[in-house]
Structure 1
Amino acid sequence: MPDYKELYLKLFRASEEAVNHLIAAQQECEELYLSQDEQEGTMEPLTKGRARSAEAE
């Protein structure tokens, strides 16, 4: 009979590792974004015309 507790724990550990990996990647991207020059890092909202052309790409 399979050891369901061990199977559960293995999946739980893998899920936790995946979440931690995603959090680390997000934090790294946030740090890179914040370290950019202010002009270079500004984002502009899409207008309706630009949103449609972006969807077509």
Structure 2
Amino acid sequence: MPDFETMYFQLAAKVADVLDILLKAQQEGEREFVSEEPVPGLKVLPIRDENRDSE
């Protein structure tokens, strides 16, 4: 019979590794975006928080 506990922990470890890779990729992309010269005509729009606006 397969050792499901070991399989589960191996899967959880791999998922954690993938999340670390994705987080690092996001941070690198954000760092590159912030360090570049501004694009003419680019506007930063505020994100509307519907929960705060309805109060």
TM-score, structure 2 as length reference: 0.68
Q: RMSD of aligned C-alpha atoms?
A: 1.9
What runs of 5+ residues in structure 2 fail to find an aligned partner?
Answer: 46-55
**Shift >6 Å, 4+ stretches:** none
Report the residue type matching 2:5 in the other structure.
K
SS in 1 for 2:37: coil
Q: Which residue of 1 aligns with 2:19?
A: 19
Answer 1 or 2: which has greater helix percent.
1
Report the residue type matching 1:37 in the other structure.
E
What runs of 5+ residues in structure 1 fail to find an aligned partner?
Answer: 46-57
- Distance (whole Å) between structure 1 residues aligned to residue 18 and residue 43 of structure 2: 29
Matched residue count: 44
**CA shift at 1:37, angstroms?**
1.1
- Distance (whole Å) between structure 2 residues aligned to residue 31 and residue 22 of structure 1: 14
Deviations 1:2-33 (A, max 9, x none): 11110000110111111110000000000000
- Distance (whole Å) between structure 1 residues aligned to residue 6 and residue 43 of structure 2: 47
